[in-house]
């Protein structure tokens, strides 16, 4: 079968992250970095982003070895985007201490000609107007996945809605679903989102995993891998997206060009697995040496730990 390539547009950054237990300075970060590293475990990834002249060459060399195409990566005179954050004792919460946009401030995505037929597209968390610029440049991807954040819900709501209407799958945290839809009920909020034309909504729940709600009325509660130690949860959502689209890039869709709900569910499990690995180290540390053998092993654990008898009946008549 044909090799499906994956296009990602988003931020590449240098992160300084402090947790209650450790600290990492100027490590590779940004949504597109996590996604690219994760998805390139599965297939070729075409990366569109911007970095400054100070961006360490070693990261580029690492990606090139992972079959990442960097011809869409803009290198501009100036400083790379920096993000500085501190996590709370409960690692599901964090504070952003500083954001230095650098060359990202003037970023407009330019999709190289050879990327425009990419079958799978991930619009990582950037301004909705830039996400729309991407959608204007690509041909007809088989599947488009969108991520966003609270900032755009508050400041660019109308543009975000326009983007949502043009994609297949939306990733959103539980709080973001409530903020965007202004509904207290998560389920009611998701129905509102599906009514905008989405095929699926993936609700991210931090260490609690993810819920998949589909336009056909089904939902999927994916098991989560309980980590012995969370070193740094940064990028877990982007790595989830990388595992999700990475897995789907290896699947032959049905005759109608669509992925089955079973394909999508397996993709969510892959997303949870890759997201769990990312949390085991700072930056993309844990993904560097990761193999499909590691992924398969964790997949089997999730199969085992989510199994329960589908037949239930009383042991006595009543």
Cβ neighbours of residue 48 under 8 Å, at least 6 residues apart?
7, 8, 9, 32, 72, 73, 109, 110, 111, 112, 115, 134
Cβ neighbours of residue 117 under 8 Å, at least 6 residues apart?
138, 139
Query: What are 155's two structure tokens?
Result: 């400041």
Closer CB to its own copies, 158 or 184, in the complex: 184
Nearest approach in angstroms of CB 119 to its own copies is 13
Closer CB to its own copies, 105 or 305, in the complex: 305
Closer CB to its own copies, 55 or 282, in the complex: 282
Cα separation, 80 vs 13, in Å, equals 6
Nearest approach in angstroms of CB 138 to its own copies is 23
Cα separation, 28 vs 169, in Å, equals 27
Computed on alpha carbons and rounded to an integer, the radius of gyration of the chain in Å comes to 19
Cβ neighbours of residue 227 under 8 Å, at least 6 residues apart?
207, 276, 279, 280
Cβ–Cβ under 8 Å, residues 264 and 222: no
Closer CB to its own copies, 84 or 301, in the complex: 301
Nearest approach in angstroms of CB 223 to its own copies is 4
Nearest approach in angstroms of CB 90 to its own copies is 8
Closer CB to its own copies, 140 or 311, in the complex: 311
Nearest approach in angstroms of CB 226 to its own copies is 5
Closer CB to its own copies, 4 or 241, in the complex: 4
Q: Which residue has the tokens 């992924």?
A: 295
Give strand pairing partners of 74.
50
Closer CB to its own copies, 38 or 49, in the complex: 38
**Could you list the residues that contact its own copies (CB under 8 A)?**
1, 3, 20-21, 89, 184-188, 205, 208-209, 211, 218-224, 226-230, 250-252, 262, 265-266, 268-270, 292, 296, 299, 302-310, 312, 314-316, 318
Compute CA 70 distance to the chain's CA centroid, rounded to the nearest angstrom: 19
**Among candidates 259, 270, 252, which has minimal Cα distance to 216?**
259
Nearest approach in angstroms of CB 98 to its own copies is 25
Nearest approach in angstroms of CB 306 to its own copies is 5
What's the DSSP call for residue 185? -
Indicate if the alpha-carbon torsion angle 266, 272, 275, 277 is positive or negative: negative
N-to-C CA span, the chain: 56
Which ranges of 167-219 does DSSP label H, i.e. alpha helix?
Answer: 174-181, 186-194
Closer CB to its own copies, 132 or 227, in the complex: 227
Nearest approach in angstroms of CB 209 to its own copies is 8
Cα separation, 234 vs 244, in Å, equals 17
How deeply is 100 buried, as exposed, middle or buried, from its count of CB atoms within 10 A (0-12, 13-18, 19+)? middle
């Amino acid at each position: 079968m044909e090799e499906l390539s994956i296009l990602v547009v988003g931020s590449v950054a240098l992160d300084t992250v402090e947790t209650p237990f450790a600290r990492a300075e100027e490590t590779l970060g940004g949504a597109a970095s996590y996604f690219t590293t994760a998805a390139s475990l599965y297939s070729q990834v075409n990366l569109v982003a911007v970095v400054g002249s100070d961006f360490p060459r070693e990261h580029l060399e690492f990606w090139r070895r992972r079959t990442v195409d960097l011809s869409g990566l803009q290198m501009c005179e100036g400083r790379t985007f920096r993000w500085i954050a501190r996590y709370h004792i409960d690692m599901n919460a964090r504070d952003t201490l500083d954001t230095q946009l650098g060359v990202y401030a003037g970023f407009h995505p330019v999709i190289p000609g050879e990327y425009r037929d990419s079958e799978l597209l991930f619009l990582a968390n950037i301004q909705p107007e830039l996400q729309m610029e991407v959608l204007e440049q690509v041909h007809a991807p088989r599947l488009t996945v969108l991520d966003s954040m609270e900032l755009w819900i508050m400041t660019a709501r109308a543009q975000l809605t326009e983007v949502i209407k043009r994609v297949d799958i939306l990733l959103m945290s539980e709080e973001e679903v409530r903020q965007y839809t202004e509904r207290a009920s998560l389920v009611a909020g998701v129905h509102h989102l599906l009514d905008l034309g989405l095929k699926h909504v993936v609700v991210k729940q931090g260490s609690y995993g993810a819920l998949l709600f589909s336009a056909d009325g089904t939902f999927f509660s994916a098991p989560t891998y309980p980590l012995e130690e969370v070193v740094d949860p940064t990028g877990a959502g982007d790595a989830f997206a990388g595992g999700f689209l990475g897995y789907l890039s290896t699947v032959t869709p049905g005759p109608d060009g669509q992925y089955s709900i079973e394909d999508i569910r397996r993709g969510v499990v892959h997303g949870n697995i890759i997201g769990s690995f990312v949390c085991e180290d700072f930056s993309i540390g844990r993904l560097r040496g990761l193999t499909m053998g590691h992924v398969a092993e964790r997949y089997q654990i999730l199969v085992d730990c989510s199994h329960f008898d589908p037949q239930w009946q009383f042991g006595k008549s009543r």
